[in-house]
Chains A and B, each alone.
Chain A
């Protein structure tokens, strides 16, 4: 039983490492500090722009921040929030980000 549980945990990680090769996110695959993402979130709810404190309260992420992982992690949080907790109070989000200091890219929610 114990051996099975341990083996299952290790196997789960192997699966996630393989899965990470096909998706932009990097969960449970031991990719620490492999990507530096600098991002800025502009969030509008009901036509009003949220301030830094409101953005952090909504997404539990800084409005202007750095993520030491894939930018997908920030997108997942924003999208996940808007598809669940934020359904009745939807936001329009624009995330400007740079990966490893390269050219700025833009991600928007809702998707256009």
Chain B
């Protein structure tokens, strides 16, 4: 009988643990953001707790214990040590902090705590329905609360927030051409509809891709409009979309031109970052693509990637390689959270670029770039013996 393989200590690895890869990536992304924004410094001592009696605990002991457990569990998560337990403990640390101090209480912290707590309760072999329900609940609560608020219905909240608090220049400029409160009211109702819509979308599997894009656009829009991540909200809400992602259950077949030096070089580079071995590379010359209807003529012009019953080619295939690699997300959240807890134009630019690159709008550009590289691959790599016929 083969011995059980212990998960890797490499924080860039996300396979071989008690959590599915996508959920572990989600939890790690949140942990990375918590650590890089120095959230540990915010953890409170008991102050007007929601749970009576918590403030009878010696305050310094309480706070230091929380901080040590917080960092230890976050690091355990990153280094793949008992990941479900680590996520559970990290979530509980935040939940206990919230319950211990009304001054610390905040929706973003509560959400982080709940998502990590629920991740820790994940049962192998099942869908992460608890996490998905949590997201649906958050959007339903947010949307319904706004729907029933007179100042949201009328646009008064948004007008005051955008113009008087944020001094948002684009909003002020555009609204100056419109009747009073019209723009604010429109944005208010769009927000309400989006949040309530998302709460329903996240309950229907075939609508998950729509929900993921809706979430990313909503929270990125808030980031661009306000310049703020709302502490952890942006990171946690976007990372939690991984719970809705359709993650490959087995290695994806990649059909490439085995006679092409440039292709071989590209393969070696991609394999270097494919720590989970999610890609199974086969030259088309082996006939591997035939049963998927991929002719030799097609495969000699562009790369093909097969994920379940879906076939991607060219730029789309490359995009799938990036989207299904945990390193993409870990690196992204590290870059986004690196500027720290404050506002950052750099962060806004990175988010905007990523949204654009992975949006349908960039696809024609991506396809054109890919086609250009394919046509000129002979000259891109010396000693290449690619044949274009």
Contact = CB atoms under 8 A, between A and B. Distances in A.
B64 interface: no
Nearest to B152: A34
Contacts of B149: 34-35
Contacts of A61: 103
A7 B110 CA distance: 16
Given A30-B138, A36-B165, A21 B148 contact: yes
B328 interface: no
B133 A10 contact: yes
A39 B321 CA distance: 51
B286 interface: no
A9 B146 CA distance: 23
B233 A10 contact: no
Interface residues of B, number: 39
Contacts, number: 94
A73 B102 contact: yes
Main secondary structure of the interface of B (DSSP, over half): helix
Interface in A55-84: 59-61, 66, 73, 76-77, 80-81, 84
Interface in B127-157: 130, 133-134, 137-142, 144-146, 148-149, 151-152, 156-157
B370 interface: no
A110 interface: no
B233 A9 contact: no
Interface residues of A, number: 37
13 contacts: A13-B137, A17-B140, A26-B145, A29-B141, A32-B233, A33-B161, A34-B157, A36-B160, A60-B47, A77-B48, A100-B157, A101-B164, A102-B160
Given A2-B121, A3-B123, A32-B108, 14 more contacts: A6-B118, A9-B114, A9-B117, A21-B148, A27-B50, A28-B110, A34-B152, A35-B151, A73-B105, A77-B48, A100-B151, A100-B156, A100-B160, A101-B160
Interface of B: 47-48, 50, 102-103, 105, 107-108, 110, 114, 117-118, 121, 123, 130, 133-134, 137-142, 144-146, 148-149, 151-152, 156-157, 159-161, 164-165, 230, 233
